[in-house]
Amino acid sequence: MQHSEPGRPQVVAHRGSSHANPEHTLGAYVAALDEGAQALECDVRLTADGHLVCVHDRRVDRTANARGLVSTMDLAQLDELDFASWKNPWADLDDEAPEVDEERRRVLTLRRLMEAAADYDRPVDLAIETKHPTRYGGLVERRLVELLEDFGWAGKGSPVRVMSFSWVALNRVKRMAPDLDIVLLIDRLYAWQLTKNLTGQDWIAGPGIDLLRENPRFASKLRRNGRRIHVWTVNTPGDFDLCVELGVEAVITDRPGAAVAHLARGV
């Protein structure tokens, strides 16, 4: 199931409204929804004690006030870290900076993000990317499907789709939850050529915007072959327009408010 405005690509907030807010924090996702995003994108990794958390990098060094591998830390350790201050390191010296709720500084579990999406006052889709390679291999997808089952979101009509650059990971998802939508992320044409015959016809193609700019005919070919197209990471008016022109179904963007406003003007 996909929620969007008729005639427009769905606007998917990339790690939340991450241009203006610290990525993968609850505050970034609430801001994205308040800006009109119809879906939320997140990356997930597995902690040492088996929790799925929304963190892009293998290490926490870039986005937290600590160093270390996500996979070697348990949730309690991660929960002690600040995942927000890196975005505005001088905030404590700014008397006009808004107060930040402590919950919005902490590591965000996928469960908490799903609860926030479920509780919002309109339907919200989720695009969840599993990161590979990882020391836990297929356990990541298993834990993900188990969590979706807890919410009743592992079958037909689910608001969730699963994304990955790994067709092996997506095959795991399809075996456990055959009715879920899945998106094979594509960063190079040759990667698609190598894997397209290993994918189901219902798999969604997920090319990067750089690839489509350089090869717009690739999108036309995908559509002629019946493929739905979700594109990342789309942040400029020209790229929004290109996606509309190419018949893209969803745009994943750091600037959901700008995307919503621009696409609305184009209708």
- The answer to whether 25 and 83 are in contact (CB under 8 A) is yes
Quick one: CA dihedral 128, 129, 131, 136, positive or negative? positive
Dist. CA 28–CA 106, nearest whole Å: 12
**Helix 110-119, helix 26-34: angle, nearest 10:** 20
* DSSP run (H or E) holding 119: helix 110-119
The yes-or-no answer on residue 19 being catalytic is: no
- The answer to whether 234 and 209 are in contact (CB under 8 A) is yes
Q: Mapped to the 3 state alphabet, what secondary structure does 205-266 carry?
A: EEEEHHHHHHCHHHHHHHHHCCCCEEEECCCCHHHHHHHHHCCCCEEEECCHHHHHHHHHHC
Residue 217's contacts (CB-CB under 8 Å, 6 or more residues apart) are none
Place of tokens 């197209």: 229
Residue 43 exposure: Cα atoms within 13 Å on the Cβ side: 17
Q: Of 3, 19, 24, 56, which residue is the catalytic one?
A: 56
- The answer to whether 230 and 12 are in contact (CB under 8 A) is yes
The yes-or-no answer on residue 56 being catalytic is: yes
Q: Of 14, 24, 51, 230, which residue is the catalytic one?
A: 14
* Segments of 71-195 assigned E as strands: 125-130, 160-164, 181-186
Show which residues are catalytic. 14, 56
